[in-house]
Amino acid sequence: MRTKLSFLAVAFLLLPVALPSPADAQGGSAADEKAIRDVETRWENAWNSNDVPAMSRDFAPDTDAINLAGEWFKGRAPFAQSLEELHSDKAKGSIWRTEETSIKFLTPEIAIVHVLINSHGEHNPDGSPRPARHAILTRVEVKRGGQWLIVASQATNIVPRASALLLDNPRVTPEGTLGQ
C-alpha cells in the first residue's frame, strides 16, 4: 500500500512536467508566446512615448485595423497616419497600460491575441480632460519570416452593459437583436 501511495505521489509531482504547456498544446512555443507579448510591450512603450513609427512597426503592411471610433484602416500606412493625427492632438501625453494579454494559437504561425488595457490622459478639443478608458483589443497575429506581425486588430471600448443597449437605435430591438 505504501509503495502505491509513493508511486502516486511521484506521478502527481511529475505530471506537470510530462504535459505540454498551454502554448505547446495549441501549436505555439514558449518563445513565440514571449515574442507576441513583446509586440504588446513595444506597442505600450511606443504609445507612451508618442512614437508612431514604433507603434506601427509591428503591423503587417497589409493589416486591417479598426480603432475605437470604428474607423477601418486597410494597410499599415493609413493606420499609421491615423495614429499620427491622434498623437499630435487628443492622445498626446496619454498613458497606456496593458493589464492582461491572452494568446490562443490557432497554428504555430497564427495566434488570436486579446489585450485588456486602460488609458488616461487624453483631452477634448477644448483641452479639458477626457475620462479614463478601459478597452479590449482583439488581434490576429501571424509569424512571417520569423517575426510576429499584427494582420488584423479590432479595438473595443469597455462600457457598462446598460449603456451599451441603445434602444433608441432603430436597428436594435428591445431583445437586443438587429432589426431589418
In the chain, what is the straight-line distance between the N-terminal and C-terminal CA atoms, in Å? 69
Q: How many residues does the chain have?
A: 180
Q: Are 178 and 171 in contact (CB under 8 A)?
A: yes
Would you state the pLDDT for residue 111? 98
Percent of the chain residues topping a pLDDT of 70: 76
Q: How confident is the model at residue 171 (pLDDT cuts 50, 70, 90)?
A: low
Residue 54: inside a domain, yes or no? yes
Nearest by Cα to 89 from 125, 140, 64: 125
Residue 42 grid cell: 513595444
Residue 70: inside a domain, yes or no? yes
Residue 69: inside a domain, yes or no? yes
Q: How confident is the model at residue 150 (pLDDT cuts 50, 70, 90)?
A: very high
Would you state the pLDDT for residue 166? 62
Per the structure, the complete domain to which residue 71 belongs is given by 22-164
Residue 108: inside a domain, yes or no? yes
Give the CATH number of the domain where residue 136 resides: 3.10.450.50
Q: If DSSP codes are grouped into helix, strand and coil, which group holds residue 2?
A: helix
Amino acid present at 167: L
Number of structural domains in the chain: 1
Residue 17: inside a domain, yes or no? no
Residue 61: inside a domain, yes or no? yes
Question: Distance between CA 174 and CA 116 in Å, rounded?
Answer: 29
Q: How do residues 23-52 score in pLDDT, each as one tens digit?
A: 444 578 999 999 999 999 999 999 999 999
Residue 6: inside a domain, yes or no? no
Is the pLDDT at 12 greater than 50? The verdict is: no
Q: Which long-range contacts (CB under 8 A, 24 or more apart) does 83-89 make?
A: 83/52, 83/55, 83/56, 84/52, 87/50, 87/52, 89/125
Residue 158 grid cell: 469597455
Q: How confident is the model at residue 160 (pLDDT cuts 50, 70, 90)?
A: confident
Question: Distance between CA 105 and CA 174 in Å, rounded?
Answer: 37
Residue 173: inside a domain, yes or no? no
Q: How high is the mean pLDDT of the chain?
A: 84
Residue 51 grid cell: 512614437
Is the pLDDT at 112 greater than 80? The verdict is: yes
Q: Is the pTM of this model over 0.85?
A: no
Q: How do residues 61-107 score in pLDDT, each as one tens digit?
A: 999 999 999 999 999 999 999 999 999 998 999 999 999 999 999 99
CA distances (Å), origin 135, targets 12, 108, 117, 131: 40, 27, 5, 13
Question: Distance between CA 108 and CA 137 in Å, rounded?
Answer: 21
Q: Are 136 and 156 in contact (CB under 8 A)?
A: yes
